[in-house]
């Protein structure tokens, strides 16, 4: 896996509209100070800059027959790199090792992704570099009593740390649920909210070298989905969580609070199942484009028998009409054999770790099953 850097990438973009700017300070023509400059090329700071650079690069790659910058023919890839260098001011950085704060370690078994340096900086900036570690990122059965807690004295600090935790969860799905919880209170954080945030920092302290492995194995997609009904005691909205594996590699994961209140646990589980189905359909299409077709239906594991029964039942009942769109969406993909639903015992439901906090023993069990581990393991 090669890493490249294009110098002044945004300056390569071609503008497809007339854009004007004021004469920049230090370069104002005193004789024509009332005039403005018409841009002939893209500049950093333009709203269009990112899109125009993307169009420029995409257009070039497509002209070379590429849909993705990926392949298993090393000579063809090297040829592409030479052509890229002839069109852009390009630096070849060799095998990937660090990308946007994500460390990539290569071994005979695959890759290992971690954010050790980023996590260390986060702890230093927060003043927790020498804090005592915590065994889990969240306390089980924590009640939402923010309204009775004092407002946190430094909301800006809270938002900065919460945002950093969001970025850290790119390689740390084990903190995804806890981070989602603290990020819901960024507008008006309380002392209790900051206490929950500190718990995550203390957990990171003890697991700072943990990350995700990308290993060789089967190329079949597999998804787990779960929901915690009426989990938020402040508004009784549910939490959905689902994760997808490609063989033994954890590929995607999501934690999301529902927009509306579910009337039953079955409805909450069904909404989570619908969202997971959308993710699976997208991943199947992406895998097909990457030359990894999925000939068999993708199995989605759900621990709610009622939700599975509704999806498989051709008779639509009035008591479930409020989830009619989700119902038809899931049934359509069952009928086309894009997915298949399978019941799983709650104790084996890996997506549980994305919807609620657990005791140390249960959290440790789910943590290992998500393949999160230390770089030294």
The pLDDT value recorded for residue 320 is 60
Q: Lowest mean pLDDT of 37-41, 117-121, 171-175, 238-242, name the range.
A: 37-41
Q: What is the mean pLDDT of the chain?
A: 89
Reported as a single tens digit per residue, the pLDDT across 263-293 is: 888 889 999 999 999 999 999 999 998 889 9
- From CA 243, how far away is CA 212, in angstroms rounded? 14
Residue 319 reports pLDDT greater than 90: no
* Whole-number CA gyration radius for the chain: 25
Reported as a single tens digit per residue, the pLDDT across 149-162 is: 799 999 999 999 99
- From CA 13, how far away is CA 272, in angstroms rounded? 41
Position 80 confidence tier, pLDDT thresholds 50, 70, 90: confident
pLDDT over 90 for what percent of the chain?
A: 55
What is the token pair recorded at 218? 């089967």
- From CA 97, how far away is CA 111, in angstroms rounded? 10
The pLDDT value recorded for residue 148 is 63
Residue 232 reports pLDDT greater than 60: yes
Measured at the CA of 353, the angle between CA 160 and CA 273, to 5 degrees, comes to: 105
Reported as a single tens digit per residue, the pLDDT across 327-369 is: 678 888 999 999 999 999 999 999 999 999 999 999 999 999 9
Mean pLDDT of 8-30: 87
The pLDDT value recorded for residue 196 is 94
What is the token pair recorded at 36? 């403005």
- From CA 42, how far away is CA 61, in angstroms rounded? 20
Comma-separated ranges of CATH 3.30.420.10 domains in the chain: 217-344
- From CA 280, how far away is CA 334, in angstroms rounded? 12
The pLDDT value recorded for residue 70 is 80
pTM listed for this prediction: 0.86
The pLDDT value recorded for residue 321 is 59
Closest to 322 (Cα-Cα) out of 267, 361, 359: 267
Q: CA separation (Å) from 63 to 2, 67, 69, 80?
A: 21, 10, 13, 11
Mean pLDDT of 81-106: 88
The pLDDT value recorded for residue 43 is 87
Mean pLDDT of 113-129: 94
CATH topology of domain 217-344: Nucleotidyltransferase; domain 5 (3.30.420)
Closest to 354 (Cα-Cα) out of 371, 370, 375, 373: 370
Mean pLDDT of 190-208: 95
Question: Per 3-state DSSP, what percentage of the chain is helix, strand, and coil (rounded to 5)?
Answer: 40, 20, 40
What is the token pair recorded at 265? 């646990």
Transcribe 203-234 into DSSP letters.
Answer: HHHHTTTEEEEEE-----EEEEEEEETT--TT
Q: At what angle do helices 155-168 and 191-206 cross, to 10 degrees?
A: 40
94: left (phi over 0), alpha (psi -120 to 50) or beta: left
Q: Lowest mean pLDDT of 39-48, 59-68, 166-175, 314-323, name the range.
A: 314-323
């Amino acid at each position: 896996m090669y890493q490249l850097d294009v110098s002044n990438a945004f300056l390569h973009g071609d503008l497809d509209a007339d854009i004007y700017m004021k004469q920049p300070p230090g370069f104002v023509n005193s004789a024509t100070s009332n005039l403005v400059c018409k841009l002939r090329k893209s500049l950093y700071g333009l709203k269009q800059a990112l899109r125009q650079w993307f169009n420029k690069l995409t257009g070039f790659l497509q002209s070379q027959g590429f849909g993705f910058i990926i392949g298993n023919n090393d000579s063809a890839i090297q040829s592409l790199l030479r052509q890229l260098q002839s069109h852009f001011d390009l630096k070849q950085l060799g095998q990937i090792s660090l990308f946007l704060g994500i460390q990539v370690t290569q071994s005979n078994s695959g890759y290992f992704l971690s954010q050790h340096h980023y996590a260390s900086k986060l702890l230093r900036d927060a003043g927790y570099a020498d804090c005592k570690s915590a065994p889990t990122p969240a306390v089980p059965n924590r009640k939402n009593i923010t309204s009775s807690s004092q407002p946190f004295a430094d909301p800006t600090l809270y938002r900065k740390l919460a945002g950093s935790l969001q970025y850290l969860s790119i390689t740390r799905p084990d903190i995804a649920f806890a981070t989602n919880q603290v990020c819901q209170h960024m507008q008006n954080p309380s002392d209790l909210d900051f206490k929950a945030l500190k718990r995550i920092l203390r957990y990171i302290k003890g697991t700072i070298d943990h990350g995700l492995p990308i290993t060789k194995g089967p190329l079949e997609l597999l998804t787990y989905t779960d929901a915690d009904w009426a989990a938020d005691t402040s508004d009784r909205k549910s939490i959905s969580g689902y994760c997808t594996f490609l063989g033994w590699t954890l590929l995607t994961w999501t934690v999301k609070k529902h927009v509306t209140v579910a009337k039953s646990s079955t409805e909450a589980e069904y909404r989570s199942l619908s969202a997971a189905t959308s993710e699976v359909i997208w991943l199947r299409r992406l895998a097909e484009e990457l030359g990894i077709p999925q000939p068999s239906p993708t199995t989605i594991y759900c621990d709610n028998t009622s939700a599975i029964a509704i999806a498989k039942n051709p008779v639509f009942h009035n008591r479930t009409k409020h989830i009619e769109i989700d119902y038809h969406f899931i049934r359509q993909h069952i009928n086309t054999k894009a997915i298949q639903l399978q019941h799983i015992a709650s104790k084996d439901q890996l997506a549980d770790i994305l919807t609620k906090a657990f005791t140390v023993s249960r959290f440790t069990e789910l943590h290992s099953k998500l393949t999160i581990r230390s770089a030294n393991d």
